[in-house]
Amino acid sequence: MEKTIKYEIIEDLDFPCADISYEWRSEKNAKLVVLMHFSRVISGYKSDIEITFKNPWALKWEEESFGLIDIPEPLPRCSNNNFSGWTHPTLIVKDSKWAEKYSNRMYAAGDPKAKDVTHYVFVAMNDLLHVLSEQKPLVKLVLANNA
């Protein structure tokens, strides 16, 4: 059964995110670079966060207001008192049906590697981004980006 849990990418990250930018770099060692713009939220997290996936399998993006790409509820919330009504910005969908579809195409039945595919969900006030990857992403804090 699918379940959405917090993905703790940075200790004490308990603030909503304003926007998400992403860039696909199609090259021999392809990568997806996701920039979460936390610094745009008043009284929020002061830095932005860059998340880099090497050779991810798939991604889906949509404007937050549509919310048509399923995320199993209940969605974890920020526990910070100022933002307790907001969804936690970094999530993982455990036992994801979407990840299972891709794994079934890539691996034979019963192959233990099929369980290594993770369904990441990044939530912002204006965007939703889903990523499937076998590898954990590289995460780093970056200076506020007002672009």
- Look up the domain containing 24 and give its range: 3-142
Position 102 in a domain = yes
Establish if 62 belongs to a structural domain.
yes
Cα(89)–Cα(81) distance, rounded to whole angstroms? 15
Q: Is residue 56 part of a domain?
A: yes
* pLDDT per residue as tens, the chain (147 positions): 999 999 999 988 999 999 999 999 988 889 999 999 999 999 989 999 999 999 999 999 998 777 778 899 999 999 889 999 999 999 999 999 999 999 988 888 777 777 789 999 999 999 999 999 999 999 999 988 665
Establish if 147 belongs to a structural domain: no
Task: State the pLDDT at residue 85.
Answer: 93
- pTM for this model (two decimals): 0.92
Domains: count for the chain: 1
